[in-house]
């Protein structure tokens, strides 16, 4: 098995050298587009390899979504079996797909899926940039993102997160919009497809709605501005865009209604998420944007590169009388408004989770491509390679200097150490080993607190929709509603094991006196009457259903 220790010096030296080589080749030589795609996306894979083969959670959100996918494979009705809170249904359903080709519900599968979605979204936005601003500017815009998303050690850019499906849909619909601009009579099916893709985005991440609205708005404006269409033809195409936009919602809501989950969909996905961080100060969040970028470490360096290229391009364009906004509102106006809508989306909640910054990757790629286009046009032919070489070299040097400092300070080069795994199997925690004495993979498990990794380690689906109980434990307007659902789920599924993970090894929920399951009196009574306390492991209380506690699996196996 391929594995990495904490200081894979030879590996890092090779991949870092490949970054320099690809940068040089991109600037100096003309690779065919397929060759460039293989080189760029292949390098991204190599750069992310330590985190890909790391069979543990890079971010707790991964365990949440893997557990939800595992559960949906057994019971595919969302909100009956799972609730991803701020993550949309598509994020969990999508993680089922790798299992159709034989991959397990584990972290390596999730990391491979994350890589595939990141690579696909980058390529979709690259194709749009190439159509609008040319091949070389598009490649120069893509490379820094490959370097940043590959060389970073920040787990928020490496784990499977709830933004990834949405940014693929945004990239695809943006590319279709770019194609739309080349057609005097855009086909009805293309507008319907754009609408359908945009309509899926809220079910990947609700934060993507303002960004999707910009794409839909511009697609509609292009139809209205089309001189080759009659009024009736414009009306039909606008109707196709609108119907396409509503189609996925109609399908999903119909699915919820047929399974009796419509009220839960409205309560827990719409009302619950709109109340999430509803008291945040938008102006304060905007003022904190530079600090937010810096939390992303390498992302902050990428934003600095974008701003540097934009400023140099504007200065050079004024000296050479090159028009900065010459492509017109359909392209430049689109990119600018897309950037602004994305900034609004990622600052709306005030939470400043670094993985929100994924939404900015596509818009910034387009903006950077336009800046490179202007800068190259403003530079004499015999000097055009100097700006890309110089700025990309500075960008790559930052990563080299950072790694040099880590080595000098005797810090690990690699955060995702996999040499201890000893194989591809997920390593079992003491808590999961204890659970395995009383329940088998495939049986239901319920965890109170935030330790979704127990579901993944045991391969046991959720016995409750809310696999982390933040909204049942913390005060907010719907807290009682979440608590009531938790109890209903427990009564319906009767999980073999109930785990109260509140304690020092829990995320956010560490105070057993105020956040333990006893907080919910009906739940406390249910556990007292139907479950038996079997002990505490790693500050985690384990309760086993009465019938199983009397005859644990370990005893059954010994009798066989």
Express each pLDDT in 84-138 by its tens digit. 998 999 999 999 999 999 999 999 999 999 999 999 999 999 999 999 999 999 9
Give the end-to-end CA distance of the chain in Å, rounded to a whole number.
Answer: 34
Identify the band that residue 556 occupies on the pLDDT scale cut at 50, 70 and 90. very low
Q: Which of 422, 391, 408 is nearest to 313 (CA)?
A: 391
Last residue of a domain, one of 338, 373, 407: 407
The H or E element containing residue 108 is: helix 107-133
Is the pLDDT confidence value at 80 over 80?
Answer: yes
| Cβ atoms of residues 466 and 264 within 8 Å | no
Q: Which of 416, 440, 218 is nearest to 334 (CA)?
A: 218
Is the pLDDT confidence value at 322 over 80?
Answer: no
DSSP bridge pairs for 447: 499
**Same domain assignment for residues 399 and 444:** no
Quote the pLDDT of residue 508: 87
Q: In what order do the strands lie in the sheet with 540-545?
A: 445-448, 497-500, 540-545, 531-537
**Same domain assignment for residues 351 and 399:** yes
Is the pLDDT confidence value at 559 over 60?
Answer: no
* Average pLDDT value for residue range 22-41: 92
DSSP assignment of 4-21: --S--HHHHHHHHHHHHH
Domain assignment present for residue 94? The answer is no
Helices (H) and strands (E) in the chain, counts: 26, 4
Domain assignment present for residue 1? The answer is no
**Same domain assignment for residues 533 and 437:** yes
Express each pLDDT in 267-309 by its tens digit. 999 999 887 655 678 888 888 999 999 999 899 999 999 999 9
Q: Is 462 helix (H, G, I), strand (E, B) or coil?
A: strand
Q: Percentage of the chain surpassing pLDDT 90?
A: 83
**Same domain assignment for residues 172 and 50:** yes
Distance CA 209, CA 198 (A): 8
Please, which residues have CB within 8 angstroms of residue 319's CB and are 6 or more apart in sequence?
378
**Same domain assignment for residues 132 and 233:** yes
Domain assignment present for residue 537? The answer is yes
* Average pLDDT value for residue range 21-27: 93
**Same domain assignment for residues 447 and 539:** yes
Distance CA 418, CA 411 (A): 17
Q: Is 447 helix (H, G, I), strand (E, B) or coil?
A: strand
- What the block records as the tokens of 299 is 């992302």
Phi and psi of 275, rounded to 5°? -85, -15
- What the block records as the tokens of 247 is 């189609």
Q: Rounded to the nearest 5 degrees, what angle is found at the Cα of 120, between the Cα atoms of 117 and 123?
A: 150
| Cβ atoms of residues 210 and 344 within 8 Å | yes
DSSP assignment, residue 422?
-
Phi-psi region of 542 (alpha: psi -120 to 50; beta: other; left: phi over 0): beta
**Same domain assignment for residues 27 and 122:** yes
CB atoms within 10 A of CB 414: 20
**Same domain assignment for residues 503 and 402:** no
The dihedral sign for the CA sequence 21, 27, 33, 37: positive
Is the pLDDT confidence value at 558 over 50?
Answer: no
| Cβ atoms of residues 149 and 163 within 8 Å | no
Phi-psi region of 297 (alpha: psi -120 to 50; beta: other; left: phi over 0): left
Domain assignment present for residue 90? The answer is no
Distance CA 364, CA 306 (A): 7
3-state secondary structure 211-274: HHHHHHHHHHHHHHHCCCCCHHHHHHHHHHHHHHHHHHHHHHHHHHHHCCCHHHHHHHHHHHHH
Is the pLDDT confidence value at 560 over 60?
Answer: no
Q: Rounded to the nearest 5 degrees, what angle is found at the Cα of 148, between the Cα atoms of 119 and 359?
A: 60
Query: Residue 377 is part of which domain span?
Result: 9-57+108-273+292-407
Domain assignment present for residue 153? The answer is yes
- What the block records as the tokens of 422 is 């000893």
Least confidently predicted of 39-53, 177-191, 275-289, 472-486: 275-289
Identify the band that residue 194 occupies on the pLDDT scale cut at 50, 70 and 90. very high
Is the pLDDT confidence value at 421 over 90?
Answer: no
Number of domains in the chain: 2
Q: Between 215 and 349, whose confidence is greater? A: 215
Domain assignment present for residue 511? The answer is yes
Write the CA distances from 405 to 267, 288, 412, integer angstroms. 50, 27, 11
Look at the chain and count its residues: 560
Q: Between 37 and 318, whose confidence is greater? A: 37
Q: Between 505 and 65, whose confidence is greater? A: 65
**Same domain assignment for residues 23 and 161:** yes
Quote the pLDDT of residue 281: 80
Quote the pLDDT of residue 553: 80
* Average pLDDT value for residue range 332-347: 95
| Cβ atoms of residues 508 and 470 within 8 Å | yes
Domain assignment present for residue 501? The answer is yes
Is the pLDDT confidence value at 460 over 80?
Answer: yes
Distance CA 340, CA 359 (A): 11
Q: Which of 442, 438, 430 is nearest to 505 (CA)?
A: 430
Q: Percentage of the chain surpassing pLDDT 70?
A: 96
Quote the pLDDT of residue 349: 84
Quote the pLDDT of residue 190: 97
Phi and psi of 205, rounded to 5°? -160, 120
* Average pLDDT value for residue range 518-531: 97
Domain assignment present for residue 103? The answer is no
**Same domain assignment for residues 448 and 403:** no
Quote the pLDDT of residue 324: 66
Distance CA 552, CA 530 (A): 15
**Same domain assignment for residues 344 and 480:** no
Distance CA 111, CA 117 (A): 10
Distance CA 355, CA 352 (A): 9
| Cβ atoms of residues 202 and 209 within 8 Å | yes
* Average pLDDT value for residue range 363-380: 93
| Rounded CA Rg of the chain | 26
**Same domain assignment for residues 365 and 248:** yes
């Amino acid at each position: 098995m391929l594995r990495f220790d904490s200081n894979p010096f030879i590996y890092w030296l090779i991949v870092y050298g490949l970054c320099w080589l690809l940068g040089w080749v991109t600037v100096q030589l003309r690779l065919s587009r397929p060759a460039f795609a293989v080189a760029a996306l292949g390098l991204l894979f190599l750069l992310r390899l330590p985190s890909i083969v790391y069979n543990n959670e890079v971010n707790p959100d991964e365990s949440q979504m893997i557990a939800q996918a595992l559960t949906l494979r057994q019971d595919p009705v969302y909100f009956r079996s799972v609730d991803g809170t701020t993550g949309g249904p598509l994020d969990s359903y999508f993680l089922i797909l790798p299992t159709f080709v034989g991959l397990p519900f584990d972290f390596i599968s999730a990391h491979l899926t994350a890589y595939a979605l990141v690579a696909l979204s980058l390529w979709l936005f690259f194709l749009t940039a190439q159509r609008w601003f040319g091949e070389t500017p598009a490649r120069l815009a893509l490379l820094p993102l490959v370097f940043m998303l590959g060389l970073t050690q920040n787990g928020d850019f490496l784990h499977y997160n709830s933004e990834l499906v949405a940014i693929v849909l945004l990239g695809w619909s943006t590319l279709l919009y770019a194609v739309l601009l080349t057609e005097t009579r855009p086909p009805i099916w293309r507008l319907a497809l754009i609408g359908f893709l945009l309509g899926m985005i809220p079910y990947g991440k609700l934060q993507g709605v303002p960004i999707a609205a910009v794409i839909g708005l511009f697609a509609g404006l292009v139809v209205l501005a089309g001189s080759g269409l009659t009024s009736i033809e414009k009306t039909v195409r606008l109707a196709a865009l609108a119907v396409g936009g509503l189609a996925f919602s109609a399908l999903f809501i119909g699915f919820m209604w047929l399974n009796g989950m419509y009220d839960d969909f409205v309560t827990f996905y719409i009302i619950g998420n709109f109340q999430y961080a509803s008291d945040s100060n938008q102006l304060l969040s905007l003022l904190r944007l530079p600090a937010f970028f810096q939390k992303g470490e390498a992302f902050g360096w990428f934003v600095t590169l974008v701003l540097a290229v934009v400023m140099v391009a504007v200065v050079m364009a004024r000296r050479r009388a090159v028009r900065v906004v010459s492509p017109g509102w359909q392209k430049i106006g689109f990119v600018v408004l897309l950037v602004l809508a994305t900034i609004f989306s990622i600052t709306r909640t005030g939470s400043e989770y670094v993985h929100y910054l994924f939404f900015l990757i596509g818009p910034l790629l387009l903006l950077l491509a336009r800046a490179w286009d202007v800068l190259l046009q403003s530079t004499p032919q015999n000097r055009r390679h100097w700006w890309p070489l110089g700025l990309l070299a500075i960008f790559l040097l930052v990563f080299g200097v950072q790694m040099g400092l880590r080595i000098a300070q005797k810090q690990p080069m690699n955060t995702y150490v996999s040499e201890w795994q000893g194989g591809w199997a997920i390593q079992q925690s003491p808590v999961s080993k204890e659970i395995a004495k009383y329940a088998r993979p495939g049986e239901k498990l319920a965890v109170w607190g935030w330790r979704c990794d127990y579901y993944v380690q045991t391969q046991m689906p959720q016995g409750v929709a809310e696999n982390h109980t933040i909204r049942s434990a913390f005060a907010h307007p719907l807290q009682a509603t979440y608590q009531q659902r938790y109890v209903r789920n427990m009564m319906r599924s009767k999980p073999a094991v109930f785990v109260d993970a509140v304690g020092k090894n829990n995320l956010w929920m560490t105070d057993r006196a105020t956040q333990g399951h006893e907080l919910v009196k009906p739940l406390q009574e249910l556990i007292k009457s139907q479950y038996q306390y079997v002990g505490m492991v790693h500050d985690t209380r384990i309760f086993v259903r009465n019938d199983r506690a009397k005859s644990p699996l370990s005893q059954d196996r010994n009798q066989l």
